[in-house]
């Protein structure tokens, strides 16, 4: 947060101005880190905001760099202030036109793990969302093929969740080769 003051001295980023004008109801918080603007937005408006960020001719965040998630269940942070959401889905965007990056975070509650898929906006979101589903169990609604991508198909659980034991639940010792070869 120490860079916050530094950011305020600079002119306000265009993306924040435009979002405040058009999507003031979607924004929950904002931050900046090493020159990257971070915005936290409401899940219900996430797809609309992301679509706007991509299609607006002045912003044109046409490159989806990454989709991932964070499990905050063991974190004590001021980010918890807007009613506790266990997961935070993170979209990293890049605008070739503005040559700037943007990080969009969307809180996802544990009791409702659904979030709209952005494969309709960026085709490259397909495998990224599959990985996020595999590792965290986030359910991307409207995804064309939401299967595990890294772990074996018959794997149970989502290993990057904080409550998943680091050394696993015995799956690395327990093996049924007959089933796998069938």
Partner 1 sequence: MGLDFVGRGTEETDGNIITTTIDKVVNWGRKNSLWPMPFGTACCAIEMMATLASKFDLSRFGSEAIRFSPRQSDLLIVSGRISIKMMPVLKRIYDQMPDPKWVISMGACASCGGVFDTYTLIQGVDQFIPVDVYIPGCPPRPEDLIDAVLQVQQKIASGASPKGVEVVYE
166 contacts partner 1 (rule: CB under 8 A)? yes
Q: Which stretch binds partner 1 (CB under 8 A): 20-28, 103-111, 123-131, 163-171?
A: 163-171
14 contacts partner 1 (rule: CB under 8 A)? no
The 3-state DSSP class for residue 43 equals helix
Exposed / middle / buried, residue 108 (Cβ in 10 Å: 0-12, 13-18, 19+): buried
Q: Which stretch binds partner 1 (CB under 8 A): 17-25, 70-78, 86-94, 165-173?
A: 165-173
Task: Out of 2, 25, 57, 172, point to the residue binding partner 1 (CB under 8 A).
Answer: 172
Q: Using CB under 8 A, which residues numbered 102 to 161 contact partner 1?
A: 150-152, 159
51 contacts partner 1 (rule: CB under 8 A)? no
* Shortest spacing between CB 26 and partner 1, in angstroms: 37
* Shortest spacing between CB 103 and partner 1, in angstroms: 27
Q: How many residues bind partner 1 (CB under 8 A)?
A: 17
Say if CB 40 and CB 70 are below 8 A apart. Answer: no
Helices marked H in the chain: 3-9, 14-22, 46-55, 125-136, 177-181
163 contacts partner 1 (rule: CB under 8 A)? no
Closest CA to 143 of 133, 135, 151: 133
DSSP 83-117: S--SEEEEEEEEETTTTEEEEEEEEE-TT--EEE-
Nearer to partner 1, 5 or 177 (CB): 177
CA 60 to chain centre: 19
* Shortest spacing between CB 177 and partner 1, in angstroms: 6
Query: Which parts of this chain interact with partner 1 (CB under 8 A)?
Result: 150-152, 159, 164-169, 171-173, 175, 177, 180-181
């Amino acid at each position: 947060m120490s860079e916050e003051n530094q950011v305020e001295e600079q002119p306000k980023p265009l993306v924040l101005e435009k979002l405040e004008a058009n999507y003031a109801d979607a924004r929950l918080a904002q931050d900046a880190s090493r020159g990257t603007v971070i915005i936290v937005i409401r899940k219900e408006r996430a797809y609309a905001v992301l679509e706007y960020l991509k299609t607006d001719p002045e912003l044109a965040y046409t490159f989806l760099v990454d989709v991932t998630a964070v499990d905050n269940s063991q974190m004590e942070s001021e980010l918890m202030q807007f009613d506790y959401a266990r997961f935070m889905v993170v979209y990293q965007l890049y605008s070739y036109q503005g040559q700037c990056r943007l990080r969009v975070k969307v809180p996802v509650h544990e009791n409702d793990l659904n979030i709209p898929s952005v494969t309709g906006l960026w085709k490259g979101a397909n495998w990224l969302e599959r990985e996020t589903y595999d590792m965290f169990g986030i359910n991307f609604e409207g995804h064309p093929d939401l299967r595990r991508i890294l772990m074996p198909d018959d794997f149970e659980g989502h290993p990057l969740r904080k409550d998943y034991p680091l050394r696993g639940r015995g799956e690395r010792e327990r093996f049924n080769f007959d089933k796998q070869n069938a």
